[in-house]
Amino acid sequence: MTSTNVPDIDVFGEEPGAKSRTSGYYTDSEPRIWARFLGKWVDFYLCQIPTFAVFYILSLLYGFGVGLFGWPYEDAYFEGWGFVIGYFVLQLLVFLLLEAFCISQFRNTPGKALMGIRVRNAIGGRLPFSTSLKRTGMSMLAGMGLCLPLISLLTHIMQARALSEDGFVLWDKYDGLQYQTGPVAAWRWAIAILGYAFFRIVDAALSYL
């Protein structure tokens, strides 16, 4: 009986990582700080789409409740800082669940796939959803600073320094995770950078409306 070892191929058709790294967290020679940064934030901004869908469904259910059960209608739910904070919290929750699900099922996310990154457990398998959920929560808290201004900047600097000096960040060490990475073509970098810049500009513009 003949056995063949077929290398894992990511969704863009490239083999992630022919090189190996002694730390065990990567199969590439560099920590790829910017690739990880862009991959995470591309995912977060793409999460606006399902978040809006969830918010729209909740709005319909609320309107249904107002009409059918006579619930009091509150304009504050859909305007002002109450709306901004509520929508932001909803996006964090949706992102937490979706990233954890994608990593547990596909070993990566759209942003990670774009930047040639795949997350596996210590023996190369898929993460259980519970493990993936804890990992995503730790990355959101310690890496993204819950996306809060200044706090997010501080956590990014701290984790970028840890990644540069140690080769891994806090949530990499959870259950011995490993990151498989591969070469990233220039067009992927262009899409990630332009996408990130576009969403940041849109965020800045909306904050002044």
- Tell me, yes or no, whether 182 lies in a domain: yes
- Tell me, yes or no, whether 77 lies in a domain: yes
Q: How many domains does the chain have?
A: 1
- Tell me, yes or no, whether 191 lies in a domain: yes
Q: Of residues 14 and 85, which shows the higher confidence score?
A: 85
The domain in which residue 47 lies consists of: 33-206
pLDDT at site 174 = 66
pLDDT at site 11 = 36
pLDDT (average), residues 44-66: 92
Q: How far is CA 165 from CA 8, 33, 102, in A?
A: 29, 11, 29
3-class SS at 107?
coil
Helices (H) and strands (E) in the chain, counts: 7, 2
Over residues 109-134, the pLDDT tens digits come to 999 999 999 998 878 889 999 999 99
pLDDT-based confidence at residue 68 (cuts at 50, 70, 90) = confident
- Tell me, yes or no, whether 15 lies in a domain: no
- Tell me, yes or no, whether 11 lies in a domain: no
- Tell me, yes or no, whether 13 lies in a domain: no
pTM, full prediction: 0.81
Identify whether the C-beta of residue 159 lies closer than 8 Å to the C-beta of residue 33: no
β-bridge mates for residue 119, sequence order: 179
Distance CA 114, CA 191 (A): 9
- Tell me, yes or no, whether 117 lies in a domain: yes
- Tell me, yes or no, whether 8 lies in a domain: no
Instruction: Give the Cβ contact number of residue 159 at 10 Å.
Output: 23
Q: CA torsion 58→141→163→97, rounded to 10°?
A: -30
